[in-house]
Amino acid sequence: MEYFINIGILFCIYAMLALSLNMVVGLSGLVSLAHAAFYGIGAYAVAILMTAQGFNFWGAMCVGMLLNGITAFIVGKILSKFKGDYYAIVSAGLSVIVFSVLLNFKSLTKGPLGIYGIGKPAIAGFHFYSSASFLALAFLFVVLFYALFVLIDKSSFGRALKSLREDEVLTVSLGYKTTKYKSLIFTLSAIMAGVAGSFFASYIAFIDPTSFQLAEGIFFFTMITVGGLSSAFGSVVGAALLLTLPEALRFLGLPYETAAQLQQLIYGALLVLMMAFRPQGLFGKFRV
Amino acid sequence: MTFNLKDFKSIDSGLSKERMDVFQEGLDAVSTLHLSKAFQGIKAVNDLSISFPLGLVTGLIGPNGSGKSTLINLLTGLLKPDAGSIVISGHAFSYIKPYKLRKFKMARTFQDARLVEQLSVEDNLLLGVAQNKIEKSLFELSTKAYRKKLEGVLIKTGLKEHRFKKAEELSYGLRKLLEIGRALMQDADIYIFDEPFTGLSPKMVDEVLSIIEILRLQAKTVILIEHNMGMIEKLSDYVIVLDHGTLLASGAPKDVLKDKLVKEAYLGV
């Protein structure tokens, strides 16, 4: 049972990441590969503040969200000048920079040694030590993120984002301040990724920079591509599928090295198949 | 021969008294002063000073490459002029960003209908009315607030039965109508229609004609780019002819279309 609860917690963290990333990529058409960076900032904010500064989880998470908000706002302003592939490349650059900082700023992040002993959240004296309670809390945030996604999707803000995704010139001609729209959705998404990072750090209790590499951002991207762009439900399905796939391989009894290679092979094949036969993903509402 | 607005006022153009009153006031909805725009050294709009009278339907004609579309893109802020200025509703500027143009209530269509292909007809129409203050638009589920207007436009454009279809599923004519509908949703004072009749079935042509007639009755300013001279003569109160980015002629349709220079440059006769 404990195994399934742990899978459930990881699913919640990935679902938060997929929902937040899909707002940028699916709703707005901005191919962001910066998500691992914001995930990492959120995680490290909680790890550093809880272990070295005596913050509680919520305070540390809020600082992480704020940090992500400021970083994303500044980077988003720069990114909003770019389009398509250039946007992806510049955003990937942020992931590389943040990873380098996490790895090399040893006095703050302890570099490759990582940070351990990260605490669990508590509300009014109740500590979420047990996996089941942690799962319930993480699930609550998934529901909140899901609701926020749907709200944006149905709002005129979301409609403008979708217009921007397909034809920026048209959106501009209709009187929308497209750079502000891009910047805002990017910032919001980064703040949400920070929350996911906070949960991850608290759940694992030990983090090091390898969890926040560019490759991780590409993995999140794969989740939403498979699940479906511009779809809240697709985001959640994508997270579930890509999380359970390696778990399923585990039961095949293959040697670890083979399973790891096979996993990468399957991810690649999945992406190719999706692009060829269902470019909008399983439940997607937007076709690239 | 070039007409100016003053000459034109003396011509009996067959306008109703109310519309003539609006016209006699001599106000311009939009005008340009020495406006220029060049692309790689080629002047698409060259020192152009023209006026689109307030409350009238003005036909904007000229051969391909005469600068009509460039002019419209300059007026709507999609292009930045190299020189000159634009006056809209009495406000002069050399360049204004499209989102700032919202306050002048100007709506346009494109020569080839520009739609958000993967959105429904309804969503495409609602794009014309969304709140531009982002913090408000985030919580604005505008379909309710704009439902009445939406229903009216769906009927006017004959798109009611297609309301849930994606734009990409529509025929060429329906796409044109959807674009016109989006402009109507903006409840503008100035409408710019770029070849609205091209590719339409006779029934659709009637629908667009009635839309322009309603706008005429409401004394809205309409700028109509059209190659069909019959339509220009039928609908326009005033005509402006461009050639090589400059003004070739302007005035009452019946006079302008008889003009020798216009015939040579545009009609090729």
Calculated CA dihedral for residues B252, B255, B261, B266, nearest 10 degrees: 70
By CA distance, what is B128's nearest residue in A?
A174
Per the CB < 8 A criterion, the answer to whether B58 and B239 are in contact is yes
Tell me the residue ranges of DSSP E strands in B6-142.
28-39, 42-48, 51-53, 57-61, 83-88, 91-93, 106-108
Model pLDDT, residue A279: 86
Q: How far apart are CA B249 and CA B80, in angstroms?
A: 25
ipTM score over 0.90, yes or no: no
Side chain identity, residue A271: L
Sign of the torsion angle spanned by Cα atoms B125, B126, B131, B135: negative
Confidence of residue B227 (pLDDT cuts 50, 70, 90): confident
Report yes or no: B68 at the A interface, CB cutoff 8 Å: no
Model pLDDT, residue B9: 38
Q: How far apart are CA A59 and CA A66, in angstroms?
A: 11
Q: Which residues of B143-174 are buried (b: 16+ CB within 10 A; e: fewer)?
A: eeebeebbeebbebbbbeebeeebbeebeebb
Give the end-to-end CA distance of chain B in Å, rounded to a whole number.
Answer: 16
Model pLDDT, residue B14: 47
Mean pLDDT of the residues in chain A? 92
Helix (H, G, I), strand (E, B) or coil at B247: strand
Per the CB < 8 A criterion, the answer to whether A204 and A23 are in contact is no
Task: Name the maximum alpha-carbon separation found in chain A.
Answer: 58
Please determine, for residue A141, whether its predicted confidence score (pLDDT) is greater than 80: yes
Can you state the percent helix, strand and coil of chain A, rounding each to 5?
A: 75, 5, 20
By CA distance, what is A163's nearest residue in B?
B116
Task: Name the maximum alpha-carbon separation found in chain B.
Answer: 58
- For residue A150, give both structure tokens: 């749907």
Confidence of residue B22 (pLDDT cuts 50, 70, 90): low
CA distance B252 to chain A (A): 31
Please determine, for residue A81, whether its predicted confidence score (pLDDT) is greater than 60: yes
Model pLDDT, residue A272: 86
Mean pLDDT of A236-248: 88
Please determine, for residue A285, whether its predicted confidence score (pLDDT) is greater than 90: no
Q: CATH number of the domain at B1-105+227-269, out of 1.10.10.410, 3.40.47.10, 3.40.50.300, 3.50.50.60?
A: 3.40.50.300
The domain limits of chain A are 2-211
Residues B153-194 pLDDT 10s: 999 999 999 999 999 999 999 999 999 999 999 989 999 999
The domain limits of chain B are 1-105+227-269
> What percentage of chain B carries pLDDT values higher than 70?
85
Confidence of residue B4 (pLDDT cuts 50, 70, 90): very low
Q: Which segments of B157-244 does DSSP mark as H helices, in order?
A: 172-185, 202-217, 229-235
Model pLDDT, residue B145: 64
Question: Residues of A near B (CB-CB distance < 8 A)?
Answer: 151-152, 154-157, 159-160, 162-163, 166-167, 169-170, 172-177, 180-181, 184, 285-287
Please determine, for residue B137, whether its predicted confidence score (pLDDT) is greater than 60: yes
Residues B34-72 pLDDT 10s: 999 999 989 999 999 999 999 999 999 998 888 999 999
